[in-house]
Amino acid sequence: MIGITLKFAKILAGHYSNFSQSQRDPVNFAHINIYFRPLPWEIFQGPGFYSEQSYGHDPWRPYRQGVHRLISTEKVQIVENFGFDQPIRLAGAGFTPKLLKLIHIDRLKQRCGCAMHFQETTPGCFSGKVEPGNKCLVPRDGRPTYLVSEVLVDHENWISRDQGFDPATNTLQWGSEHGPLRFERVASFENEVTAEWARLSNHKGEESEQIG
């Protein structure tokens, strides 16, 4: 279990771009960058990430930002989701990692119901979905919707699709009508999975004590 957690962390740590997809079909797909940057160990006293999504033409104004704590269970790798105040202060941290020092755990607020659950489906390939319960609520046009998110990530690709559904009728309210977003890994940040992260492969069960 511990070896899988470390493998997953190294796969997740990277910069992904759908530039090729946006060039093939610019009408339906904008150019987007995704960053999953390992956090300094001391923030959670355990493994964590900062994530950022931005349009290729406007990298300093990301449209989605998050802080994540990584927890391993017997069956799944759980990527918890946290929001934070003044997100503009962290804008660009995906490619300017010194900004990660501005993150303080006492300013984080957990986004309940919005953790992603990943499982290794084939060697080196992880499939993830929002935790069960349809409780990850996302406002859209002044009305709540629940998020259904699916991700497939490996050493080379990130394929994802987000959709929002009406909580009362379960009808689709928003999301891509043209299939999933298909990203390619531009850079790996696995070298930022530092010596502390190596504890995940050396001490069975220790990570639960450190970050629980």
Structural element, H or E, at residue 187: strand 181-188
User: Dihedral of CA 27/141/163/109: which sign?
Assistant: positive
- Is pLDDT above 80 for 208? no
The whole-number pLDDT of residue 75 equals 86
- What's the length of the chain? 212
Distance (Å, rounded) from C-alpha 37 to C-alpha 62?
14
The whole-number pLDDT of residue 2 equals 57
| Reported pTM | 0.90
CA angle 139, 137, 140 (to 5 degrees): 15
What residue type is 188 in one-letter code? S
The whole-number pLDDT of residue 68 equals 98
- Is pLDDT above 80 for 198? no
In the 8-state DSSP scheme, what is residue 19?
H
- How many Cβ atoms from other residues are within 10 Å of residue 8's Cβ? 23
The whole-number pLDDT of residue 200 equals 63
Tokens of 15: 């910069």
- List pLDDT tens digits, range 171-195: 999 998 899 999 999 999 999 998 7
For the domain that residue 84 is a member of, what is the CATH number?
2.40.128.590
The whole-number pLDDT of residue 207 equals 39
Distance (Å, rounded) from C-alpha 184 to C-alpha 67?
22
Q: Tell me the mean pLDDT in the region 161-166.
A: 96
Q: Tell me whether strands 137-140 and 82-84 are parallel, antiparallel or unpaired.
A: unpaired
96 contact partners, CB below 8 Å, separation of at least 6 = none
Residue 45 lies in domain: 2-211
Number of domains, the chain:
1
Are the CB atoms for 17 and 183 separated by under 8 Å? yes
What residue type is 23 in one-letter code? Q
- List pLDDT tens digits, range 108-143: 999 999 999 999 999 999 999 999 999 999 999 999
For the chain, the maximum distance between any two Cα atoms, rounded to a whole number of angstroms, is 50
